[in-house]
Amino acid sequence: MVLLNLWSLGHFLQWTAVGRFLLKNWPVFFLLSIGWEVLELYLPFEFVSETWDNKISDLVVNTIGFGLGLRLRSNPLPLK
C-alpha cells in the first residue's frame, strides 16, 4: 500500500494554486476537499478505488498544499 502517489502530487499542486490565486477561506477549503473525497466514494470510475488511508493522506496533502498557497499569497517569492 502506497500512501503517496502521482495523484498526491496533483492534489498538492492543485490546492497550492487554489490557495495562492483563488481562495483564502479555510472552512470553504475543508468543505471542498472533504466533499470531493466523499464524492469519489460514489463515482463509478476505477481511479477512485482507494483505501481509507490513502483518502486521509489526500486530505493531509491537500491541507499542506493549501497552506503553502496561502503563505505564497501573503509572502510571494521575490523575482530576480
Q: Express each pLDDT in 12-43 by its tens digit.
A: 999 999 999 999 999 999 999 999 988 888 88
Q: Quick one: what percent of the chain has pLDDT higher than 70?
A: 91
**pLDDT over 70 at 77, yes or no:** yes
Domain containing 50 equals 26-71
Question: Does any domain span residue 17?
Answer: no
Residue 64 lies in a domain: yes
C-alpha to C-alpha distance for 35 and 33, rounded to whole angstroms: 5
57 pLDDT band, cuts 50/70/90, is very high
* Structural domain contains residue 9: no
Q: Is residue 2 part of a domain?
A: no
In a domain, 36, yes or no: yes
Rg (CA), the chain: 14
Q: Is residue 19 part of a domain?
A: no
Give the pTM.
0.86
CB 59 within 8 A of CB 6: no
CB 29 within 8 Å of CB 66: yes
**Does any domain span residue 44?**
yes
In the chain, the number of structural domains is 1
